Chains A and B, each alone.
Chain A
């Protein structure tokens, strides 16, 4: 195992991690502020990817496609918040799970109905395609590097939004006491819609950015959603910092595990068995990580509430 390969894999893990962060951030905000578990968050991720693919196919402009992804996901998010989600804030988690599961069914089948079952493709723009030489003689895809940069910039922006702006103050106040801030004259209903649409837009953007690496297809959101849950369990509910660290941890663990575990097992077993055992174990690695965090700190690394 060469050092260059290892660094490449770490970068891949970081890239995967920041994209997970974009998905998990909205989820954890929505949970933190509204106390709602939203399974349909993965659908918003998918809507972003489809909007981007459709826009790119129509205009050929990648930047426009990214904006379309955020706009479409935010619009879909605001729509379901106003029509459905709003009625669920006072319900128990079971009702929230079911209603948002129903939304997944509607969104997935609706998308299949509109776009068909075949995957769409979203091309990486000319400007960002191809590898770039990093110090140390590493050739790394420019697009993936751009994703890491975008993810980190958004993470920074989100921190500033939450800690420095008026909206951020309201969000934080909403997390600790929603009745009090309503009494102080903040339009809580509007705040909730904004937070929900913001989270949706981030998920949609992640969907579009990931969609250019993978294919854009129905059902692409749910595996990411479940990983985002793992991230939130590890990071702690409601914590943006926890979501960032959890995402990077999950991203790097997942990517490195898939490479390193089979290689490690090769040292002690015959190659065929090692590949099998290694890759099977690697597929379970992040869940094992989650279990360890649960044993050590049931509320997650940065969580306070049980």
Chain B
């Protein structure tokens, strides 16, 4: 077994084992922390498709995360108040059913990714970074200035949405839902990376001109990759909102984009389980350093700086060696 595969299995087992242990020890807070890791890792897996596979440095993924969150918030708040979302031309009612909310979150964030990606992929490099950041900020300001769904204060949902056959209010059951989704998406991302599409996208990252000479348009590849990436991050956003039973404009903030990117880089860009390792370390740091000092972001900053300057390849890259080099 390759060293990286072994690390992946250990990570997957650890992320499942830790909350189960916490369940036995009756520590619901630790289960919630693990759920956060699973959800944030999912957001990172989404970004990793654009960033790692496609080489698209998107600093605007908070847009999709937030859209997923608001998809949940809007649908659930309408179900909560029994007021239909729309009456004409046809009736749309709110819902408290997770699968429907997920579907809506995925579609809505996919459409947003199509719009943002369609425009920003006309450029590349540093322009792309700035434009995605700017579009993310556009959604942030829009969510603040649109008063119907809480505006600046955000939107609270009193009861967590339901999943058929499960009690989602039980932390361990909600964790398992998130975990299964994460594993399913990881499986999908792995297959995607090995599919003809994934190989072509990877090739376009390494040398766009060669890809173009064999008759593939990099723009379409990248746009497809970007949309898939946005959809996954949107799904994570819906789950995150459900975890907190609260959604607010801060999900759209540029810091959120930065943090999702940190999960990916901390773990290791283009590594399948990179976001899982990154999110787990991030949450652990937040929990441990946050308990030591109010200013734990300083330590995070220094750590991140150290990783960028000296330990390229992130956690998995350092542990597994450079079997899959990424530059």
Any A CB within 8 A of the CB of B38: no
Q: Is the CB of B141 within 8 A of A284?
A: yes
Using C-beta atoms within 8 Å of the partner chain, give the interface range for chain B: 35 or more
Q: Which of B293-316 contact A (CB under 8 A)?
A: 295-298, 300-302, 304-305, 307-309, 312
Check B119–A105 contact: CB distance below 8 A.
Answer: no
B135 at the interface (CB under 8 A from A): yes
B206 to chain A, nearest CB (A): 12
**Chain A at the B interface: SS class:** helix
B142 at the interface (CB under 8 A from A): yes
Q: Contact between B295 and A98 (Cβ–Cβ < 8 Å)?
A: no
CB <8 Å contact, B147 and A276 = yes
Q: Does B261 contact A (CB under 8 A)?
A: yes
Q: Which residue of A lies closest to B126 (CB)?
A: A37
Given A37-B129, A103-B305, A109 and B297 contact (CB-CB distance below 8 Å): yes
Complex CA gap A113/B59 in Å reads 27
How far in angstroms is the closest Cβ of chain B from A80?
10
The answer for the CA separation of A284 and B327 in the assembled complex, in Å, is 35
| Cβ-defined partner of A232 (8 Å) among B130, B135, B300, B304 | B130
Is the beta-carbon distance between B145 and A279 smaller than 8 angstroms? Answer: yes
Residues of A within 8 A of B201 (CB): none
In the complex, chain A residues whose CB is within 8 Å of the CB of B135: 287
Determine if A108 is an interface residue (Cβ-Cβ < 8 Å). Answer: yes
**In the assembled complex, B144 has its CB within 8 A of some CB on chain A:** yes
Contact B137 A287 (CB under 8 A): yes
Question: Which residues of chain B are within 8 angstroms of A294 by Cβ–Cβ distance?
Answer: 119-120, 122-123, 131
Which A residues lie within 8 Å of B125 (CB)? 93, 306
A92→B301 contact, CB < 8 A: no
Q: Is B137 a contact of A37 with CB atoms below 8 Å?
A: no
Q: Which residues of B contact A233 (CB under 8 A)?
A: 127, 130-131, 134
Verify if A1 is at the interface (C-beta below 8 Å from B): no
B265 contacts the other chain (CB 8 A): yes
A218 to B267, CA, bound (A): 29
Of the candidates A37, A102, A282, A283, which one forms a contact with B304 in the assembled complex, judged by CB atoms under 8 Å apart?
Answer: A102
| Chain B CB within 8 A of A295 CB | yes
Q: Do A99 and B305 contact each other (CB < 8 Å), given the known contacts A94-B57, A229-B134, A230-B134?
A: yes
Determine the residue in chain A with the shortest Cβ distance to B51: A94
In the bound complex, residues from chain B placing their C-beta under 8 Å from that of A102 are 300-302, 304-305, 308
B262 at interface by CB-CB < 8 Å:
yes
Is A179 an interface position by the 8 A CB rule? no
B162 within 8 A of A: no
Q: How far is the CB of B115 from chain A (nearest CB, A)?
A: 9
Determine whether B256 belongs to the interface, using a CB cutoff of 8 Å to chain A: no
Which residue on A lies nearest to B132, using beta carbons? Answer: A229
Q: Looking at chain A, what size class is its interface with the partner chain?
A: 35 or more
Q: What distance in Å separates the Cβ of A53 from its nearest Cβ neighbour in chain B?
A: 20
Q: Is the CB of B134 within 8 A of A105?
A: no
Contact of A67 with B by CB under 8 A: no
Contacts between the two chains (Cβ within 8 Å), count? 125
Contact between chains at A109 and B142 (CB < 8 Å): no
CA distance A37 to B120 in the complex (A): 17
CA distance A176 to B147 in the complex (A): 49
Tell me if A110 counts as interface (CB < 8 A to partner B).
yes
Q: Which listed residue, A99, A280, A291, A299, touches B142 by the CB 8 Å rule? A: A280
Contact A280 B130 (CB under 8 A): no
- Chain A CB count within 10 A is highest, among B123, B130, B269, for B130
Instruction: Name the A residues within 8 Å of B300 (CB-CB).
Output: 102, 105
B124 located at the interface, meaning its Cβ lies under 8 Å from any Cβ of chain A in the complex: yes
Contact with A along B47-60 (1 / 0, CB 8 A): 00001000001010
A110, closest chain B residue (CB):
B298
- Inter-chain CA distance A108–B258, complex, in Å, is 14
In the bound assembly, the distance between CA atoms of A35 and B126 in angstroms comes to 9
List of A residues within 8 angstroms of B141 by Cβ: 283-284
Q: Is B9's beta carbon under 8 Å from chain A?
A: no
Shortest C-beta distance, A43 to chain B (Å), equals 11
User: What residues of A have a CB within 8 angstroms of the CB of B254 in the complex?
Assistant: 222, 226
Among residues of A, the one whose C-beta sits closest to the C-beta of B303 is A102
User: Does A290 lie at the interface of the complex (its beta carbon under 8 Å from any beta carbon of B)?
Assistant: yes
Q: Would you call B137 and A93 a contact (CB within 8 A)? A: no
In the assembled complex, the Cα of A110 lies from the Cα of B127 at a distance in Å of 30
Query: Binary interface profile of A, 86-103, with partner B (CB < 8 Å = 1, else 0)?
Result: 010000111101110111
Q: Mark A292-306, 1 if CB is under 8 A from B, else 0.
A: 001100110000001
A237 and B146 within 8 A (CB): no
Q: Which residues of A contact B123 (CB under 8 A)?
A: 294, 298-299, 306
Question: Is there an interface contact between B59 and A280, defined as CB atoms closer than 8 Å?
Answer: no
A-B pairs with beta carbons under 8 Å apart, 28 shown: A84-B305, A94-B51, A95-B308, A98-B261, A98-B262, A98-B307, A101-B261, A102-B300, A103-B301, A103-B305, A105-B297, A105-B298, A106-B298, A112-B295, A223-B137, A229-B131, A229-B134, A233-B127, A233-B130, A233-B134, A237-B126, A280-B142, A283-B141, A283-B142, A287-B137, A291-B119, A295-B119, A306-B124
**Given A98-B307, A103-B301, A283-B144, list of 8 further CB < 8 A pairs?**
A84-B305, A94-B51, A97-B57, A106-B298, A237-B127, A287-B134, A295-B119, A298-B127
The 8 residue pairs across chains A and B that have the minimum distance between CB atoms: A105-B301, A287-B138, A106-B301, A102-B304, A229-B130, A283-B141, A102-B305, A109-B297
B interface residues with partner A (beta carbon < 8 Å): 51, 57, 59, 119-120, 122-127, 129-131, 133-135, 137-138, 141-142, 144-148, 254, 258, 261-262, 265, 269, 295-298, 300-302, 304-305, 307-309, 312, 327
